[in-house]
Structure 1
Amino acid sequence: MTTIVKEIRQQFNPACPSECVGQVELMSIEETKAALTVAQEAFEGWKNTSSVARGDILRMMAQLLEENIDIVAETASKEMGKTKNEMIGEVKRGASILRYFAQEGMRSTGEVLPSVSEAKLLYTKRVPLGVIVAITPWNFPVAIPLWKIAPALVYGNTVVWKPSIEVALTGKLLGELFEQAGLPKHVLQVVQGRGSTVGQVLVEAPEVKAITFTGSNGVGQNILNTVGHTKKKIQLELGGKNAAIILADADLDVAARLTVEGAMKQTGQRCTATSRVYIEEAVYEKALEKIIAEAKKIEVGVTMGPVSSKEQYTNILAAIDKAKAEGATLVVGGTATKGKEEGYFIDPTIFTDVNHTMSVACEEIFGPVLAVMKVKDYEEAIKLSNDTEFGLSASIYTTNIQKAFDFIERSEVGLVQVNDETGGAEPQAPFGGMKNSSTGAREQGQAAKEFFTTIKTVTINTR
C-alpha cells in the first residue's frame, strides 16, 4: 500500500518571523485536477440557480465576514504584515464588494430589441462561461479575491481559486465562510499550492473557460504566453509605477499628506501606490519639506507594518541601495528600522535628485519608497508622468480646473485622481490600467459583467 505524504507549509509572521501563526496543507497536482473536475460538474446546477438566490448567498457572506472581522483581520495581518487596522478596513471593503455584487443578482441580464418583423420577439441575455480560475496576490488577501469571486459567482460561474501561498490561512478562512454562507459544495474550490505547480495546472486545464489574475508582470506574461492562443478569456491586473503631480497652486498641506499616504499606506505594497511625485519648481522646496514632515509622522510597527516576507525585505533594501548607487539623494529613511531587527520592517524612504534613467524612477519597487522630482511646469510634469511602461493610476494636485481636466484627458492611465492619492477604488467603479498594467476587461462595477458572462441572442417567431 502506497502512503501519500502531504506537504505541509508553515506560515510565519513577518513582524516576528520566529512566530509560526499556523500551517496549511498544500494540494498535489492530482488533487488540483480533481478540484477542476468537481467545479465543472457543479456548474450545471449553479448556473440554473436563480440569480437572486446566488446574490442572497453573497449577502450572507458579507454578513459573516463582518461578524468574523476580528479573526479575518488578525489572520491576514499576521500572515502578510499589514497592520490590523488596515486589514479591518480591507475586510469592510470586502463586505461592500459582496453586497454590491449581491444586488447584481436582481439586475437585468439582457434587453428586448426591436425586430424588423412584428411577428418576432428579439432579445438578449447574459449567460455564464463555466469554470473560472482566479489567481490572487498576497497584498490584498481579502478584497482582491472577493472582487473576482463575487461577480463570477453571482453571474452563474463556478470558481477554482488559488490564493497566494503567502496568505494561505486567510484563503482557507474565506473558503470556510463561503461554505457557512450556504454556497453549494464544489461551486467554489480553494486550491492551496505554488504557482509553479498547481498554478500551471489551473492555467492549462481544458475545463477552464476564463482566467482572472492579479500579480507580477512576469507571471502575467507567462499566463499570456501559455493560453493566449486558446479561446480562454484572460484578465490580467499587473504592476504600476504611479505618479503624482503637485502644481504651484495646490493646497500643499493636502498634497503632501495624501502623497505620503499614497506612497506609504499598506507599506507601499499596492499596485496603485504613489511611487513618483513631480513638484513644480516654484513650490518644490516648500512641498518637499511638508512631504518629509508627513513621512516622519509614520510610526513603523504601529501605523505602518512590516513588508510581507524576507524576499520582499531583501528586494526592497536592494532597490534602495541601487538608487543610492545611481546617484539619487536619500533624504528620509533608506534602512531597516532600528530596534525592530527581528521583523521585516523598513523605514519610510524618500529620494530626491532623481532622473528617469534611474531604476527608482522606472522600476516597480512595491515597498515604502518615494522618488521626488522637480519640474519646470505642468507640461514637463505630465510628459514625465507618462514616461513609463505602466499605466495604472496617477494623480494631480491643483486648483486650476483647466489643468485638472487636461490631465484627465492626457494622462495615460486607467485610474485618474484629482486632488487625491493614486490608490483607492470603489466596488461600483471599473478598475484597471493601460499599457503594461492590464490586459483584458476591467474589474469591478458593471465592467465585471463583460468578463464573467457572454451574450446569447434569442429570436422567437410567434407565427
Structure 2
Amino acid sequence: MTFIDPTVFHGRIHLDGEWVEGQGDPIDVIEPATGQQLATIGGASPEDVTRAARSAAIAQREWAALPHPERAAVLHRAADLWERHSEEIVGWNTREVGAIAPMAGFAVHVAAAECREAGSLPSHPLGEVLSSEKPRLSFAQRMPVGVVGVISPFNVPIILGIRAVAPALALGNAVLLKPDPRTAVTGGVTMVRIFEEAGLPAGLLQLLPGGVEVGSAMVTDPEVSVIAFTGSTQAGRSVGELAGKHLKRAHLELGGNSAFIVMDDADVDRAVNLATWGAFLHQGQICMTIGRHLVHESLYEQYVDKLAAKADSMVVGDPTGQVHLGPVIDTGQRDKIMSLIERSVEMGAQLRAGGTADGLFVRPTVLAGPPLDAPAYCEEVFGPVASVVPFSDDDEAVKLASASDYGLSLGIVTAQPMRGLALAGRIPSGIVHINDQTVDDEANSPFGGVKSSGTGSRHGGAAANLDAFTETRWITMQAEPGEYPL
C-alpha cells in the first residue's frame, strides 16, 4: 500500500484530521530535475488559517491534559514510521527537492531521531521549587504555549519542519504547518501522514501550504502564540517584525555564510575532503554550507588546486541516478547563483572550476582570491560555490571569519585542537566544529545562529525545546489565606 498517495491529497489541504479543499489556489508539485509534475496539492488561504487555528486551540487543550506517556507514545510511533516508510519518503524527497539519495536518507534518519528525542520531553521535569520569604510553597511551572506556527523552507524540508513540529507536539501544543509550496509533499504531506498513522488526535497538526499571505495570517492570528520560522534572513526579519508588532515570540533560524578555517598545520588533503562535503553537498542549498574558505597562505595554492580538481571531477545530474549533485530548486535560484558568480569574476575573482549551468544543474564552482566585497564571498549564495581567500596569521583569520553579518556555523582544521578551540572563542558563531566541516545536525544538540543568522539556539536538545515551546508561570500555595495591613 502506498504511504504517500497523490490521489488522497490532490488539490487538498489537511484540516481537523481530514483532507479538504483549500480556499487558495492549487499548487503543482514540480520535479526540478525533469520539470515533470509530480502531484497537485491544495493551497490554503488566510481564512483557512483562521479556521485551523481555532480548531487547533480546542484540540490542544485536550491533548495537553493527556497523561504524558500517551503523548510520548505518539512520538515514538512516529519515529518508527519514519524508518518503516523511509524508502518511499526518500524517493519523494529525491524527486521533489532534488536531493541525492544519501542526503534524503540523512533527512529521514534525523526526522526519526527528532521524534525519539521529542518523545522524552513529555516526562521531562516541568518546573522547579523556588525559595520564598513567605511561609508557602513557591514554584515555577512550564506550560504549553498553545498553538505553534511552523514555517519551513524548501531546501531540507523534512529536518527543518520536524525539528519544530515534533517537540512542539510532545510538549502539549498544537501545530499549524506551512511548508514552502515548492516542497509541500516532502515538507508537509509526509509529516501529516506520519502523525496520522502514529495516532495523533485530529486537529493537532494542520497543513496549510501557501505563500506570504498564509504565513502572515499565521503570525497575526490571535490563537497562535509562537512562530518557529526557518528561511532567509530577509524573510525572517519580516516575520520577526510582524511577530513583535503582535507581541509574539518568533524563533528565527536564518541564513548563513559559514567560514572554514584551514590552519598552517592542517593536512590539505583531509581539509579538501571536508571542504568538498561542506561546500557542495545538496548543491550548497544548506544554511550551514561553507561559503568562505579561509586558508593559511602557506597552503593556499595547494588547497585551491586540489579543491578545484575535486570540483571538476564531480558528477552533476538527475539525483535518482549515481551523481554527486542534483539540480537547484528552480530557475530563480539558479539565476541568483550564476549572477553572484559572474559579478564576482568581474570584480577580480579567479574562476578555477565550474561557473556554468545546464538547466537547473549548476557545476560546483571554485573562486580563488575574490575581493572581500565580491558578492559570492560576502553574501549567502545558497549554491555550490566555494570562495577561497588566504590569511597570514591567527589574528587575520579571526578578522576575516568575524567580518560577516552571519554567525551560524564555523569549521576549523588544525593539528592542534586546543589551538582551534581558542581561535573559535574569538569568532561569533552559534555552532563550531573543530576538525570537521560546517554542515551537521543531531536531534539532541542545540542548533541556531547569532547576528543575522537568527535568534540563537531554539532547536535541538531539551533545554532549547523547552524554552521554545513552553511558557513559565509562577505559582504559590499557602496553608491559610494571607493577611495584609489594609
Under TM normalisation by the shorter chain, which class is it? over 0.9
The one-character-per-residue Cα deviations of 1:124-148 (angstroms, maximum 9, x if unpaired) are: 2211111110000011111111100
- Give the aligned partner of residue 357 of structure 1: 373
- Give the aligned partner of residue 56 of structure 1: 73
Aligned match for 1:449, one of 446, 466, 470: 466
RMSD: 1.7
- Give the aligned partner of residue 391 of structure 2: 375
Query: 8 Å contact 2:411–2:432 — kept in the other structure?
Result: yes
Aligned match for 1:287, one of 268, 288, 303: 303
Q: Do residues 46 (structure 1) and 58 (structure 2) align?
A: no
Q: Do residues 173 (structure 1) and 190 (structure 2) align?
A: yes
C-alpha separation in 2, matches of 1:277 and 1:100: 34
**1:441 to partner: Cα distance:** 5.3
Matches within 5 A, 1:125-140: 125-140=141-156
Query: 8 Å contact 2:118–2:167 — kept in the other structure?
Result: yes
**1:13 to partner: Cα distance:** 0.9
Q: Evaluate the alpha carbon distance shift between residue 323 and residue 110 of structure 1 in structure 2; reply closer, same or farther with a 3 A threshold.
A: same
Moved more, 372-381 or 181-190: 372-381
SS in 1 for 2:326: coil
Query: 8 Å contact 2:23–2:44 — kept in the other structure?
Result: no
C-alpha separation in 1, matches of 2:222 and 2:348: 50
| Stretches of 4+ aligned residues off by more than 3 angstroms | 3-6, 113-117
Aligned match for 1:423, one of 439, 442, 448: 439
Aligned match for 1:71, one of 49, 69, 88: 88
The one-character-per-residue Cα deviations of 1:296-348 (angstroms, maximum 9, x if unpaired) are: 34221212111111211121112111111111110000101xxxx4x510110
Aligned match for 2:349, one of 289, 306, 328: 328
**1:368 to partner: Cα distance:** 0.1
Name the aligned partner's letter for residue 158 of structure 1: A
SS in 2 for 1:228: helix
Name the aligned partner's letter for residue 128 of structure 1: P
**Normalised TM-score (structure 1):** 0.94
Query: 8 Å contact 1:246–1:396 — kept in the other structure?
Result: yes
Aligned match for 1:21, one of 14, 19, 38: 38
Matches within 5 A, 1:101-250: 101-116=118-133, 120-170=136-186, 171-194=188-211, 196-250=212-266
Matches within 5 A, 1:80-119: 80-116=97-133
Query: 8 Å contact 1:234–1:440 — kept in the other structure?
Result: no
SS in 2 for 1:161: strand
C-alpha separation in 1, matches of 2:425 and 2:241: 32
- Give the aligned partner of residue 303 of structure 1: 324
Identity %: 33
Name the aligned partner's letter for residue 343 of structure 2: K
Q: How many residues are matched?
A: 453
**Normalised TM-score (structure 2):** 0.90
- Structure 1 residues without counterparts, runs of 5 or longer: none
Moved more, 174-183 or 47-56: 47-56
C-alpha separation in 1, matches of 2:248 and 2:438: 32
C-alpha separation in 1, matches of 2:411 and 2:305: 20
**1:28 to partner: Cα distance:** 2.5
Aligned match for 2:404, one of 388, 411, 417: 388
The one-character-per-residue Cα deviations of 1:409-435 (angstroms, maximum 9, x if unpaired) are: 111111111110011121111111111
SS in 2 for 1:44: helix
C-alpha separation in 2, matches of 1:189 and 1:45: 16
C-alpha separation in 1, matches of 2:477 and 2:351: 70
